[in-house]
Amino acid sequence: MDNKEKIDIFCHITPLRFIREYVKSIVIHFLRIMEASVSDNFIYFSDPEYRLKYMTKYGISIEVLTLGPTGDLWNVAPGNTLPKLVKAANDSIAEIVNKYPDKFVGIGILPSVYQGFMDEVKRSIKDLGFKGIMILSNLIGKPVDADEMDSFYQFMSSENLPIFIHPTNPPYTNTYPWAREYRLIQMLGWPYDTSLAMARLVFSGILDRYPNLKFIIHHAGAMIPFFSKRIEGFYDEAIEYPEVYGGETFKKLNKHPLEYFKNNFYVDTVLNGNTSALKASYDFYGIDHMVFATDFPYGPEKGERWTRDILNSVYELKLNEDSLEKIFYKNAKRLLGI
């Protein structure tokens, strides 16, 4: 590996404390995945020492830790356990960051809205020193622009810290269980749900109320860069012919929708080595809005294949040194304030 500084801004960890003390006794349906995480074969999910060796191998200076996995965990957790689970997750990540402060940066988790959720968000930032909060592409069935989330967006705007959006299972997976077969939800459903979340943030007017909000989006911005002209055309058509296409249902925005997608969203490099798709995302969002990430430890070969392929795809963009530095670490440092 080369000696360029690299910050992996979107990777995952499943801390042992979170697994052992809380999840096993609360979320019975999730035991199979969680028990796998503490087995010898899956220790790379949870062991910081293993991760440090991996980071050295691939020249990664800092990992920005978010909780993983994010799919069924929160959907099957009884509602009254959410505050305890969220606190456990955040404390577990903080414990690792405090032990290795030069190697890891912590990001809090907000899987849904529940009574007192803002107290935990503020504790994560103010007391634990986290540099952002991760929400899911839907909040256990609620859209990300739900009214209850306004206080969260107001707070994150005032703190000038990024909001990470990670995909989760769309609500229809419970109605159509066949959508889960062949891992179709992870392959295709997650990017779709991420795109819906991004679009709702734009069209709901949230970004007009809080124009300096910053979102870090997994998987290179999901469907948005590839369907941007379709978004533009359908929006413009609805505004031009409101009586036919329901243009009156759109809120009056201060800017054209595509400007919000380009200005308020930052996207990672997790397209698993697809250089042409990464180029399309780069062309849409621009050099100042792309950040390096690997999705570690997910993927074949204990996550290492995707790391190699993602690194190769970044280099295959054939960017100059300054642009590579922005993607690998400068943009991340600016976003996180580190």
Peptide bond into 69 cis (omega under 30): yes
The whole-angstrom separation of Cα 165 and Cα 294 is 15
Average pLDDT of the residues in 243-263 = 89
The whole-angstrom separation of Cα 278 and Cα 319 is 13
| Length reported for the chain | 338
pLDDT of residue 80: 76
pTM to 2 decimals? Answer: 0.94
Q: Give the least confident one: 74-88, 110-124, 236-250.
A: 74-88
Task: Indicate the pLDDT class of residue 310, thresholds 50, 70 and 90.
Answer: very high
What digits encode the pLDDT tens for the residues 14-73? 888 887 766 555 555 455 555 555 555 567 788 999 999 999 999 999 999 999 876 667
pLDDT of residue 68: 86
pLDDT of residue 203: 96
pLDDT: which is higher, 286 or 84 = 286
The whole-angstrom separation of Cα 160 and Cα 282 is 24
Q: Give the least confident one: 138-142, 195-199, 226-230, 330-334.
A: 138-142
pLDDT of residue 31: 53
Domains of the chain: 7-200+213-221+265-336 (3.20.20.140)
266 with 214: CB under 8 angstroms? yes
What digits encode the pLDDT tens for the residues 263-293? 999 999 999 999 999 999 999 999 999 999 9
81 with 90: CB under 8 angstroms? no
pLDDT of residue 338: 96
- Cα→Cα distances 48→54, 103, 133, 297, Å: 10, 10, 21, 12
pLDDT: which is higher, 190 or 25 = 190
pLDDT of residue 10: 98
pLDDT of residue 79: 66
In 264-309 the beta strands, taken as DSSP E runs, fall at 265-268, 290-291
Q: Using the Cα atoms of residue 173, residue 174, residue 175 and residue 180 in order, give the sign of their dihedral.
A: positive
Task: Indicate the pLDDT class of residue 155, thresholds 50, 70 and 90.
Answer: very high
Report the mean per-residue pLDDT for the chain: 91
165 with 137: CB under 8 angstroms? yes
| Backbone φ, ψ for residue 13 (5° rounding) | -145, 150
153 with 124: CB under 8 angstroms? no
